[in-house]
Amino acid sequence: MKIGIVGLPNVGKSTLFNAITKAGAECANYPFCTIEPNVGVVAVPDERLAGLAALYNPKRVTPATVEFVDIAGLVKGASRGEGLGNKFLAHIREVDAILHVVRCFAEENIVHVEGSIDPRRDVEIINLELILADLETLGKRIEKTRNMAKSGDKKFLDELDLYLKIQKGLEEGLPVRALSFSQEEQELVRELFLLTEKPVIYAANISEKELATAGGENPWVAALKTLAAREGAEVLPICAALEEEIAQLDEEDKKVFLADLGLKESGLDRLIKAGYDLLGLISFLTAGPQEVRAWTIKKGTRAPQAAGKIHSDFERGFIRAEIVAYDDLMACGSYTVAKEKGLVRLEGKDYVMQDGDVALFRFNV
Ligand code: GDP
């Protein structure tokens, strides 16, 4: 999963991104830790890894990871290619979801680029750039399709209708994700790779004091929620400054620190969960004496494709999978007992993987 961080200057993006890189450095035992300066990798929190590690005593425990890309240069005028604008739009094209950071904290001495705090205006400034970029993409497509539709071919006429409908929505300021489509249309829409089709989470950057009530009293958070509801998006209250502190603590200290604040999880952990939900992702696990590991897949992924996440040979030569649900395995206390009790199932190529499946793949080389 790859998430792009956008937002106006001075809203707390770098602070949050620093928290991400620090949290990533804490669990640096995976090979792809630092990639580029604007990319941070963090572990997907998963208590099942510790459970399996206790059973297998492996050499390595490798969590699933999420990549965050800091797309700091997306500012007013980006869609017109001012400065490095277009390059940043290209970055957005590559992410699975967008994290839109919005300033909802007061703090007099931190200047707001637009002069006042107003989440609605801020969100609209950024969204407008994305909408303008999409209108450009779409404009070219409409022109092409119009030419092809001259033949009277119904397929092209239908496509043209759809594109015009999207264009109208965008012109009214609606991101593509806020529009509704039939299944068939959805597939065509996906092929356009529009920026405003990407699912979004709005991170309301609030002050530390407000965190315990999740910004419940904060009028800016309320305004942001209204706006997000229009496009079916979620608002996640965080305090970027506090995340930076939390990210430097080890697991134990982190728990104590959060409990003192009346919180169960860090904002970053909540964010990763929200991203999983938004994108329909689940994790399956592999376990052995060498390594216990979590892998991210889309809900609905079948066994051979899940195996392919580990190695392409596993998918190509897939024979079957031995699957046991994590809870069953833990209840039995060992793989052998789980097998004796018939809880380890043999599944074929049509098996749809479930969250928390502990899998062993059999394959031909
Ligand atoms: P960016 O331009 O969006 O990357 O914003 P920065 O992360 O550089 O933050 C801008 C300023 O706001 C910095 O002085 C931060 O210390 C401050 N800031 C960021 N997050 C918070 C927060 O949650 N609370 C407070 N009070 N200040 C913050």
Closest-lying ligand 1 atom to the alpha carbon of residue 8: 3
Please state, in angstroms and as integers, the Cα–Cα distance from residue 79 to each residue in 192, 241, 261, following that order: 17, 30, 41
**How much distance in Å is there from the Cα of 224 to the middle of ligand 1?**
18
Q: Say what the pLDDT of residue 328 is.
A: 97
Q: Whose alpha carbon is nearest atom 14 of ligand 1?
A: 110
Please report, for the domain that includes residue 151, its CATH number. Answer: 1.10.150.300
Q: Say what the pLDDT of residue 90 is.
A: 81
Give the annotated binding-site residues for ATP: 10-15
Q: Say what the pLDDT of residue 85 is.
A: 58
Specify whether 11 is located in the same domain as 70: yes
> 172: buried, middle or exposed (CB in 10 Å: 19+, 13-18, 0-12)?
exposed
Q: Which residues of the chain have pLDDT under 70?
A: 25-36, 73-75, 78-79, 81-86
Q: Whose alpha carbon is nearest atom 6 of ligand 1?
A: 12
Closest-lying ligand 1 atom to the alpha carbon of residue 240: 23
| Three-point CA angle 184, 186, 190, nearest 5° | 125
Domain boundary among 279, 311, 337: 279
Domain boundary among 162, 181, 196: 196
The pLDDT tens digits of the residues spanning 118-149 come to: 999 999 999 998 999 999 999 999 999 999 99
Phi, psi values for residue 360, rounded to 5°: -130, 120
Specify whether 249 is located in the same domain as 326: no
> 304: buried, middle or exposed (CB in 10 Å: 19+, 13-18, 0-12)?
buried
CA–CA separation, 266 vs 268, rounded Å?
5
**How much distance in Å is there from the Cα of 238 to the middle of ligand 1?**
12
Within-domain flag for 238? yes
Please report, for the domain that includes residue 337, its CATH number. Answer: 3.10.20.30
Specify whether 236 is located in the same domain as 95: yes
Specify whether 103 is located in the same domain as 218: yes
Q: Say what the pLDDT of residue 226 is.
A: 93
Specify whether 252 is located in the same domain as 161: no
Q: Domain containing 344: what range? A: 300-363
Within-domain flag for 119? no
Specify whether 182 is located in the same domain as 262: no
Q: How many domains does the chain have?
A: 3
**How much distance in Å is there from the Cα of 165 to the middle of ligand 1?**
39
**How much distance in Å is there from the Cα of 13 to the middle of ligand 1?**
7
**How much distance in Å is there from the Cα of 214 to the middle of ligand 1?**
18
Q: Say what the pLDDT of residue 34 is.
A: 46
Please report, for the domain that includes residue 246, its CATH number. Answer: 3.40.50.300
Within-domain flag for 256? yes
Specify whether 262 is located in the same domain as 158: no
Specify whether 254 is located in the same domain as 349: no
Q: Say what the pLDDT of residue 53 is.
A: 97
Specify whether 274 is located in the same domain as 316: no
**How much distance in Å is there from the Cα of 30 to the middle of ligand 1?**
29
Which residue's entry shows tokens 């890894």?
49
Q: Say what the pLDDT of residue 190 is.
A: 93
Within-domain flag for 53? no
Which of 10, 17, 207 is the pocket-test mutation for ligand 1 (most atoms within 8 Å of CB)? 10
Tokens of residue 213, six digits: 């009530």
Domain boundary among 196, 229, 251: 196
Specify whether 152 is located in the same domain as 233: no
Q: Say what the pLDDT of residue 30 is.
A: 46
Which of 5, 71, 110 is the pocket-test mutation for ligand 1 (most atoms within 8 Å of CB)? 110
Specify whether 91 is located in the same domain as 9: yes
Within-domain flag for 98? yes
CA–CA separation, 128 vs 270, rounded Å?
28
Closest-lying ligand 1 atom to the alpha carbon of residue 207: 24
Would the ipTM clear 0.90, i.e. be above it?
A: yes
Q: Say what the pLDDT of residue 36 is.
A: 66
**How much distance in Å is there from the Cα of 174 to the middle of ligand 1?**
29
Within-domain flag for 74? yes
Give the annotated binding-site residues: 10-15
The pLDDT tens digits of the residues spanning 159-204 come to: 999 999 999 999 999 999 999 999 999 999 999 999 999 999 999 9
CA–CA separation, 322 vs 335, rounded Å?
11
Within-domain flag for 285? no
Specify whether 14 is located in the same domain as 86: yes
Which residue's entry shows tokens 């109208």?
168
Contact criterion met (CB below 8 Å) for 238 and 258 = no
List the one residue out of 290, 296, 303, 282 whose CA is nearest residue 362.
Answer: 303
Ligand 1 is surrounded, with C-beta below 6 A, by 7, 9-15, 105, 107, 110, 205, 207, 239-241
Q: Say what the pLDDT of residue 250 is.
A: 87
Within-domain flag for 123? no
Contact criterion met (CB below 8 Å) for 43 and 64 = yes
Q: Say what the pLDDT of residue 145 is.
A: 96
